[in-house]
Structure 1
Amino acid sequence: MKQILFAAPILMLAACGETTNTEVTDVEAPLASNGELAAAAAALPAGDFLDLVLGAKIVGPQGDEVEGALSTNEGNFADIRSFVACPEGMTKCDPKTAPAGTIYTYVHVVYPGEDNQSSTGSGEGNDSSDIERATAFRMIRPAHGFTGTAGYSKDEVLGAIGPKADVAITCDAGELVWTVSAGDGGNQWEQAEPVTFYWQSTLPPAGPADAYAIDANYTQAKGPGPYPAETAGATNACLDESN
């Protein structure tokens, strides 16, 4: 498995509104093996979704956002709401007229369990068991056109898990995986705690496809989201031999 590892520092907030410069990263955390140490030493920082300034969203047959559910034969395990945006300054995002070199940002908001809104995703139709532990959001198809830029909302992860949270973005046979680690026991990424993930591609979406999944309650639930078609000449940073 080829792997690019992105490790991001998460600031810890002190009591009474005071802040500290102490940072927790997976480089500083205890490591179980020399392999993990080597991966951590070569880590690149993940982007923070709150730092992104995006332009207009692509408007498709379902509007500017696509809603769905990540599910198994036993039921829905998560809601997913996705959109694709053009870069800052573009007031209209139409791949047919977008200039050459346009970078598209794929954004996915994942809600373990249901989001308690009957009009979106799983909504009231979610009859799966309560999600006690979600450990990863991932692609289950290659990330065509992937530029090497990806990230997540650090504030949302901090709010869901706390300062011990560790999110690593890796490549698995051309697919992207966001592994969310909270250690054993204690607070986990769980029911009704939405987290936003993103990645960037040189390719626009060809339409919704069953290309995404969540690992939760020790099973994998799959579902749809905007996805780019394989295109001749397009690269994928996960498959770049220099990585």
Structure 2
Amino acid sequence: MDESRARFNDTLLDLSRLIDDEDLLRMKFKSSGEVNIGKKQGEKITNPLHLFTALEERGHLGPHNTDYLKTLLINCCSGKTDGLRVLESYEQRRDTFANPYGNGYLPAQGYTAVPELAPQPQTVPASGPQVVYVIQGGVDQQINNFQQNLNRITSKRKDLDPEITFLTKSLGRDWKFYMRALGVHDDDIEQVSCDHTSLREKIHQCLSLWLEQQQQSASKYKLIEACRHSSVQRNDLATKLESNQL
């Protein structure tokens, strides 16, 4: 095993210790559709290292291919930055080894900046080679944007908390039909069903996933309409939601 691969494996091991079960569940949900991880393999992913292996097998992760993993860490870890910092530190060390001039800078020629981040030009001291460099950065801004988005989702979740609690207790055996009526994907429903044994926990996790997917579009109206859907026909629940008899 070469040295660069060993450093990469050590980084993945460090990351795996910082990703909890809820983070992993969100990462599996997000990556299942984006990188085509099938249901059968998804069921076998019980720790972060299994997920990393699946991403590598599909060409979405490697020692020099960490952008997708960074996206997962930003979007799926509830604003926690420890894992992102570990990956960022690895990228800086990796780029330092790749750059003969050191200092963590990459030559501007042939270098593609991180999408949506404006590169900042910087020159080395006069005593060294007169080459223009760009600094790869902007993680703090990405985290800040994610945190703002997370705050909006949290606020929406609090607004709908009484309705979510009521549906968690009341849906019963109709819950899968209801989730489909809401627009939750079948693969996500089945993954939640496999990951949890309690019926109420399955319902709550699916509703939480729906809130994350809908974000600001989530509304009490959509919850009520799903109750009235032809495949659900729970007008009793819809009436109680409308009249706030929760």
Which band: TM-score by shorter chain? Answer: under 0.3
Which has the greater radius of gyration?
2
Select the structure that is richer in strand: 1
Determine which structure has greater relative contact order: mean sequence separation of CA pairs < 8 Å that are 6+ residues apart, divided by chain length: 1
TM-score by length of 1: 0.21
TM-score by length of 2: 0.21
